[in-house]
Every structure is written in structure tokens, then in C-alpha cells.
């Protein structure tokens, strides 16, 4: 998560990260509703690709950041990644910032053992 305008500042801290089936937002209250939070995604056959939504709260930022998701294997090699095209604006380091992605194609599941 490099800070574009000033790379001398520390990156923001991830305060929470949740995967779910769907995210809805209330325009009036500006609250988000996460439907079906989960850590298990059952599939009927392999290979399969899952659709997932994510909600991330970050704090301590000082500017603009590109926040992405990455699934890595035990050798620290990226198996899947999602990098939104627009950076997140984080003007106040004391105020948590919410980042949401809805119905993003997730990692492709190849076998039951993940290989």
C-alpha cells in the first residue's frame, strides 16, 4: 500500500477485514450491511471461481493509497489478486476509512487441496 504523494509516511493500519456474500449501503444513514459473512465457500465442482464482497477499515492514513487484496500460497507467491483502479483518499489519520468491493471474482479453486 504505497502512499503516492509522500512515501516517507507509514502506510495505514488495517483495522478490520471481512469477506461476505453481499454488501448493501443505506444512503440515508451511510451504514453498510454485510450479508452472509463467511470463511467457507462451498463449491459443487472443481475448478470453480467464487464471487465475494469485502469490507476493509483502515486507520492512520495520510493521503492517497492504492489498497488491493492478495491471496498468497505458503511460498509467499501470489495466487490471486484484486487491485481497484482508483486510490482511496485518507485525509484524516484519526478517522477510520472504509473500503468496500462488491461481488468481486475471487480466486479460482483448482482442487480440494488448493494445488
Percent of the chain at pLDDT exceeding 90: 3
The answer to pTM > 0.85 is no
Residue 5 lies in a domain: no
Query: The C-alpha cell of 92 is what?
Result: 484524516
Residues 6 or more apart from 110 whose CB is under 8 A from it?
46, 47
Residue 4 lies in a domain: no
Number of domains composing the chain: 1
Residue 32 lies in a domain: yes
Residue 114 lies in a domain: no
Query: The C-alpha cell of 102 is what?
Result: 462488491
Residue 7 lies in a domain: no
Query: The C-alpha cell of 14 is what?
Result: 488495517
DSSP characters over 47-106: SEEEEEEEEEEEES--EEE---EEEE-TTS-EEEEE--SSPEEE--TTS-EEEEEEEEEE
Residue 43 lies in a domain: yes
The pLDDT tens digits of the residues spanning 47-94 come to: 877 778 888 888 888 888 888 888 788 899 888 787 877 888 888 888
User: What is the domain range of residue 18?
Assistant: 13-109
Amino acid at each position: 500500500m504505497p502512499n503516492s504523494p509522500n512515501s516517507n509516511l507509514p502506510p495505514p493500519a488495517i483495522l478490520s477485514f471481512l469477506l461476505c456474500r453481499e454488501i448493501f449501503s443505506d444512503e440515508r444513514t451511510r451504514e453498510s450491511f454485510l450479508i452472509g459473512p463467511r470463511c467457507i465457500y462451498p463449491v459443487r465442482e472443481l475448478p470453480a471461481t467464487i464471487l465475494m464482497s469485502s469490507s476493509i477499515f483502515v486507520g492512520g492514513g495520510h493521503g492517497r493509497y492504492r489498497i488491493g487484496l492478495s491471496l498468497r500460497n505458503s511460498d509467499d507467491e501470489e495466487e490471486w489478486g484484486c487491485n481497484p483502479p482508483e486510490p482511496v483518499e485518507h485525509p484524516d489519520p484519526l478517522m477510520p476509512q472504509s473500503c468496500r468491493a462488491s461481488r468481486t471474482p475471487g480466486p479460482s479453486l483448482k482442487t480440494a487441496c488448493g494445488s
